[in-house]
Chain A
């Protein structure tokens, strides 16, 4: 995090938020300030909280992710949010939510593009049904000439690779959470710059 971002957070009147959060002393007044804050300043603040509390990993769920008190899934039931509103919601949840809360983004509902951007605003998990793959010709090539079951497995691998690529290109580390709940790092995608394929 740069000094400029520190200054931006400070000048937006949010410099005391992280300390208040760690004391469990966030107030309604803070919420009002967060709601009115510049979106990118809020995003930077949320990203800092995310980095401190849950680190660089982004968990990609293979199966159904169990909803519990330690996680919040976005978008919620209100489907009329704009992309900017969704980002603000996620950032506010990261700053005002429980310590180390898991913020899940359902990429099937909001799209992969927005889900990837949300990783810079406090989100740390991606959920969505991995079933078919469109628009990845490498995968289409891999899928030809195999049986139905293998085809499904290969499609899943291709989709996972794509998701992991999105995570890497957002500067984060992909971790796959299997159907049995076990997590392991996804190492197949090389850690390359977006512009250096």
Chain B
């Protein structure tokens, strides 16, 4: 079976549900990675992307009660609840104008009391500070919530937010689409169909979006393949997804804290199978915040072609126990990519090249270490 799947990949044929399951279940993760790496190199060569971005979460007050979330607070005034004043949110950018990000990524809780104008003013304010900043804001779950909360269609919500400065949508909120899982872990927010419909509408309006999958909790491989194929089907139809980001579940401080976090092998396998199944999505990210910079670097050999960005200060994963740093510098990202033998490319949000960095020779010191070690092994053998 697996050899037939491998042949299909080699001939660039589309994989089926059964093929996806066979890949997830195959015990040799290195072989799966090798296959995905071939596809990645066919699509992007050694180019590996990142951008200068900044995360802002303006509120963690959220009416949804997702089991996997360690970030949200149910209401204002609850311990840890926080909603930024607009000036406070804008100052996050103002204080970084000496080395400004190219993109602001905003994801929030579903706040029951903030007016729609708050979000419009938020975007407009960022554009006033830096007119060319790219605003990638509000997950499909938030857009669906706005539509319900303010009695508008998805088109109206997106139209008004675009008029205020919105440029694209992030991919969060997808979790796992299959109702067997979604009704257990995220029963009171947008359904899978609603999530996909928001993206469908956004793509129809000419917007580009990303998409995600939260893996490693109560879902099965069957649920993962189902999720990936639903994304592939929408991409066939509307074509607006730029990147897929597998997000590893982190258990600290949430309703599924009795579960272990997915391991590095599962992270690499999920990146690889995603690359193989999503043949129509251009980019697969190794989101270093979710999988640690070390594992993300290895993932660049398992099908991923993007490390996300500088982030600056991420809080959602840190609330769930991530040990990754809150942000990384451009030199750090470039070094991670070069050490993986890839060519670092700084991009904008639409994957236009901002700057291509040279391919680094393997650092001299590391080469010497390898030579010495390898020769030592040979000496032992002889």
Give the CA-CA distance A166 to B263 in the complex, in Å. 7
Asked whether A197 and B377 contact (CB < 8 A) given A40-B30, A40-B33, A83-B295, the answer is no
Residues of B close to A47: CB separation below 8 A = 28, 30
Complex formed: what's the CA distance from A4 to B28 in Å?
12
B279 at interface by CB-CB < 8 Å: no
Q: Is A165 an interface residue (CB 8 A)?
A: yes
What range describes how many residues of A lie at the interface? Answer: 35 or more
User: Known contacts A35-B374, A85-B366, A113-B294; can you find 6 more A-B pairs with CB under 8 A?
Assistant: A83-B298, A85-B339, A88-B370, A116-B265, A171-B265, A195-B220
Dominant SS among interface residues on chain B: helix
A residues adjacent to B (C-beta < 8 A): 1-5, 8, 24, 26, 28, 31, 34-35, 38-41, 43-44, 47, 69, 72, 76, 78, 80-85, 87-89, 92-93, 96-98, 101, 111-114, 116-117, 119-121, 135-138, 162, 165-166, 169-171, 193-197
Pick the contact of B380: A84, A87, A88, A98 (CB < 8 A).
A98
CB distance from A101 to the nearest CB of B (A): 8
List residues of B whose CB falls within 8 A of some A CB: 2-3, 6-7, 10, 24-25, 27-31, 33-35, 37, 215-221, 223-224, 251-252, 257-269, 292, 294-295, 297-298, 301-302, 321, 339-341, 365-366, 369-371, 373-375, 377-378, 380-381
Report Cα–Cα, A96/B371, bound state, in Å.
13
Out of B7, B219, B221, B378, name the residue touching A26 (CB < 8 Å).
B378
Contacting pair B258 A40 (CB below 8 A): no
Docked pose: A98 CA to B218 CA in angstroms: 43
Closest Cβ–Cβ distance, residue A188 to chain B (whole Å): 14
CB of A113 within 8 A of CB of B374, answer: no
- Across-interface contacts of A69 in B (CB, < 8 A): 380
- Chain B residue nearest to A72 (CB atoms) is B377
Given contacts A47-B30, A89-B370, contact A96 B263 (CB under 8 A): no
B378 → chain A closest CB, angstroms: 5
B261 to chain A, nearest CB (A): 8
Contact B34 A44 (CB under 8 A): yes
- Residue in chain B with minimal CB distance to A45: B30
Find the A residue at minimum CB distance from B260: A165
